[in-house]
Amino acid sequence: MASSSDQKRRSTARARIAQLDAEIEKLQRLMAPLLAEREKCNQTLAEYKFPILTLPTEITSEILLQFLPLKSPSFLLQICRQWRDVALATPALWSTLELFFYPRRQARQRDLLKMWLQRFGNCALSIRMDYPMKTADDKTIVEESIGALPQHASRWQDLEIYLPVERLRSLAAGAMPMLRSVTIGIESWGERPETPVALFADAPALKHVVLSSSFDPFLATLPWSQITLKGEDLYANKVLEILRHTTLLQDCDLTILDPSESSAASLIHIPPLDGGPGADANHQLFKAFRLPVLQTLAVHEVFLGPDPIAALSGACPNGFPQEIEIFSAYTAREDYEAAFPLASFTVHKNGE
């Protein structure tokens, strides 16, 4: 049997519950207009359309295309449902592909590649690919990834690739009718091929090639006769090997390391170069050049030797470039113009 004290506690609790219910009911009556106003505000927000979301799909697609250089298009899939739908329906967003085969990232890159190749449609494709390590966590994944690209070679437009020649042999062998520019660096990780591998032989629209410092013309050849050429930090022996094949070169911009290298001179049968890389070595290097259809030329005067006008005449025996820019010059522009009246000269005096 419950004691009188237990009964008293229960009675007190029941009374307190009644008081709390009354206070809650009172507060609910006070909150009712606030809740109603909040619901009204939520409804207003739900009915509001942000101006960006009222644009036609075509304009939204163009806005997202302008965003593309800053972020991967996969980032757009996370913004909102409408932008996700637009991004997935805009093949041009997926027409630029970057692949970096670093250790422990090969599987992710393979999956990324599959997604991109499903979405770029019939757009021209720009690819940047780097495989910097001599070993891979999973070479099968890398081979699978690179092997998926040649079937789309007819859509390639711009390539920037840094791969061993062993990988390039199959990658750059097919028909590439839309390919217009290539930036390339190659080396060999295995046995060097007995003869250079011909790359991009069936790419009639290819006009612009940039050679990285790792490009080795003794490993691979390009369709030299149809391209303009740019390269930085190339050793003289590589430069001279390249220029041996570019008999129709019209536009060339090369930065040359160590022009005094004697092995470079022997490639095109000029006298051995002795001493460090100085004015005489530079002069001997330029004397090796024969540029029969060159149209523009920019060169430091030190490469032209003590008689720069004679050096220019010797390098261009069948006609002279239309535009010539001379850097670090001691010879006056008037002297150049008097010797070559049909050419347009820009001369930067030494120290400018």
Q: What is the predicted pLDDT for the residue at 279?
A: 40
How many CB atoms are closer than 10 A to CB 144?
A: 14
Sign of CA dihedral 50, 54, 57, 58: negative
How does residue 198 score in pLDDT terms, banded at 50, 70 and 90? confident
Q: By percentage, how much of the chain surpasses pLDDT 70?
A: 79
CB 347 within 8 A of CB 329: yes
User: What integer pLDDT is reported at residue 249 of this predicted model?
Assistant: 66
Residue with more model confidence, 255 or 344: 344
Which of 10-19, 125-134, 272-281 comes out lowest in average pLDDT?
272-281
Lowest-pLDDT choice from 6-10, 21-25, 69-73: 69-73
pLDDT at 240: 75
| pLDDT tier for residue 281 given thresholds of 50, 70 and 90 | very low
Instruction: Kindly report the pTM of this predicted structure.
Output: 0.64
Which of these ranges, 109-113, 125-129, 281-285, 342-346, has the smallest mean pLDDT?
281-285
Taking residues 11-40, report their average pLDDT: 90
| 185-199 mean pLDDT | 75
Alpha helices in the chain (DSSP H): 4-47, 57-67, 73-76, 81-88, 106-119, 139-147, 165-171, 236-245, 262-267, 279-287, 308-315, 333-339
Q: Specify the higher pLDDT residue, 56 or 21.
A: 21
- Top-confidence residue, 178 or 193: 178
What are the tens digits of pLDDT across the range 67-126? 765 567 777 788 888 888 888 888 888 888 887 776 666 777 778 788 888 888 888 888
Confidence of residue 301 (pLDDT cuts 50, 70, 90): confident
Average pLDDT over every residue of 273-288: 47
pLDDT for the residue numbered 49: 74
Q: Tell me the per-residue pLDDT of 209-262, one tens digit each, with 9 for 90 and over.
A: 888 877 888 888 888 888 888 887 777 777 777 877 776 666 677 776 654 443
Q: Which residues pair with 156 in a beta bridge?
A: 125
Greater pLDDT, 297 or 257: 297
Over the chain, what is the mean pLDDT? Answer: 77
Contact yes or no for 351/323 (Cβ under 8 A)? no
Percentage above 90 pLDDT, the chain: 7
Phi, psi of 129 (to 5 degrees): -140, 130
Q: Say what the alpha-carbon torsion angle 107, 111, 114, 116 is, to the nearest 10 degrees.
A: -120
Could you please report the per-residue DSSP string of 203-261? Answer: -TT--EEEE-TT--TTTEE--GGG-EEEEEEEEHHHHHHHHHH-TT---EEEEEE-TT-
Q: Quick one: pLDDT at residue 68?
A: 65
